[in-house]
Structure 1
Amino acid sequence: MMKNDGEVVRFDNVGLRYGTETEVLSDIDFTLFAGRFYFLTGASGAGKTSLLKLLYLSQRPSRGAIRMFGNDVITLKRDRLPAYRRRLGVVFQDFRLIGHLSAFDNVALPLRLAGLREADLRQPVADMLDWVGLGNRSDARPATLSGGEQQRVAIARAVIARPELLVADEPTGNVDPEMALRLLRLFEALNRLGTTVVVATHDLHLLRRVPDSLIMRLDRGRLADPTGALRYPPRGPIGKPQP
């Protein structure tokens, strides 16, 4: 599929600190383009989750500029943020499912917020739950689901509305290898429909599963190679991303 070269996100000299602590992200510069698939890698504590928080607009940077969908989101008025967030799909590491809602209702939530009629959303939600292997658990509440099942519900909720940008924090960390591959294929299918995908992972074996993906590697809060930070997955044995 031909990729759209339009910018979706641009970071310019972005830094992030919490309170008066040392910066957890420093001098971050990159551009994400429409319809591309990106992996974000780095050791534990490198800053991956902090960078994702900036991407899904739950955190403002301490310095620098961030543009999303063509607009400066740092100076964006707070009452306009919900409209931007509806264009995003997010898979949180801690799932963030709504406890009193069933798996079906958790997945249906983005469609309901978008104003889709109940009659029009039932089949897509059912199909999505089938895809992630939870068609028989649609009435279950999160507390009765295993960690892996909760992860799959969270992923189904993130992708059901076909967001323009999908951000996923360790989305395969609680599932077996077979399901991890199946979920990755779901992200690929969404990507082929035009969604820009960013997957943060420490599992380097995933990198070769998406041949046209690009790799961003964080090292102690900085992009490891700012002038060539976006790399294709290695073709040889799995190891550190190669130039």
Structure 2
Amino acid sequence: MANIVQFENVGLRYGTGPETLSDVSFALGSGAFYFLTGASGAGKTSLLRLLYLAQRPSRGIIRLFGEDTVMLPRDRLPGFRRRIGVVFQDFRLVPHLSAWDNVALPLRVAGVPEAQVEQPVHEMLAWVGLADRARAKPATLSGGEQQRVAIARAVIGRPEMLVADEPTGNVDPDMAERLLHLFDSLNRLGTTVVVATHDLHLLSRIPDAIMMRLDKGRLLDPTGSLRYPPPDRARS
């Protein structure tokens, strides 16, 4: 299984404060499913921001789709970002667009002919249980409904990688199961999926998923030990 993402000794610092992420190294295999866990403040959202190219690291190397993104010219970033679906914790729906038009947006940006937009948008809204809310504006939707629109928008283009920050945090348990099934189906079609969550009950729902755990900005191995920095540094 080829790697779609590779982090090498990545550190992230905001301003002059302490590092939010320190010596983070890992690889994500193409077509795999990952859960990113950790307590509030562990650095999950910061790590996701690096994954979907909203933030550049303070140090280290990040390779995405085989290229060093730290050195990538800014004019190439939009093309890379279109290969990544993102479910934001704060939804980020376009307020003046309907649910239907928010979901259609990635297809239109990618230049999909309008005649080929309607069917997948309707199918996606039906899948997340919002077929009857297609023309509603975000302000008239509940938090859970907005979350489902955001998820539909993120996955409609079948991205090569899907990054989701607490995607089930505003929905009931039944809808959470349905959304995880959607992510699993997308994964089985070949998309690499990374879901950040604090809900450990979700981990058992995808048996083949790989767990990554952050603690105070450092990546832990499955036994709870620090994976990075190397052991000789960890003892010092």
TM-score range, shorter chain: over 0.9
* Residue equivalent to 2:205: 209
Match of 1:186 in 2: 182
Q: Tell me what 1:97 maps to.
A: 93
1:106 equivalent to 2:102? Answer: yes
Q: How does 1:131-210 map to 2 (within 5 A)?
A: 131-210=127-206
2:211–2:222 Cα contact (<8 Å) kept: no
| Structure 2 counterpart SS, 1:57 | coil
1:40 aligned to 2:40?
no
Once the two structures are TM-superposed, the CA of residue 225 in structure 1 deviates from its matched residue by 2.7
Q: Following TM superposition, by how much is the alpha carbon of 1:114 offset from its aligned partner in structure 2, in angstroms?
A: 1.1
Aligned to 1:184, what secondary structure does the other structure show?
helix
Equivalent runs, 1:64-103 vs 2, <5 Å: 64-103=60-99
Once the two structures are superposed, what CA deviation does each residue of 1:65-105 show, in whole Å capped at 9, x if it has no partner? 00000000011010000000000000000000000000000
Contact 2:212 2:222 in 1 (8 A): no
Normalising by structure 2, what TM-score?
0.94
Aligned twin of 2:233: none
Deviation of 1:226 (Å): 8.9
- Are the counterparts in 2 of residues 166 and 198 from structure 1 also a CA contact under 8 Å? yes
**1:121/1:42 CA distance change after superposition, 3 Å:** same
For residues 6-29 of structure 1, give each alpha carbon's deviation from its aligned partner in whole angstroms, at most 9, with x where no partner exists: 110000000000000000000000
Match of residue 122 from structure 1: 118
| Structure 2 residue aligned with 1:60 | 56
Alignment of 1:16-31 (within 5 A): 16-31=12-27
| Equivalent residue pairs, number | 225
1:238 alignment partner in structure 2: none
The superposition leaves residues 122-156 of structure 1 with CA deviations (integer Å, 9 ceiling, x where unpaired) of 01100100000000000001000000000000000
TM-score between both structures, scaled by the size of structure 1: 0.91
Deviation at 1:227, TM superposition (A): 9.7
Alignment partner of 2:25: what SS? strand
SS of match in other structure, 2:171: coil
Structure 2 regions of 5+ residues with no counterpart? 226-236
Runs of 4+ in 1 over 3 A off after TM superposition: 226-229
Kept in 2: contact 1:97–1:106 (CA 8 A): yes
Q: Distance in 1 between matches of 2:53 and 2:78?
A: 10
Give the CA RMSD over aligned residues. Answer: 1.2
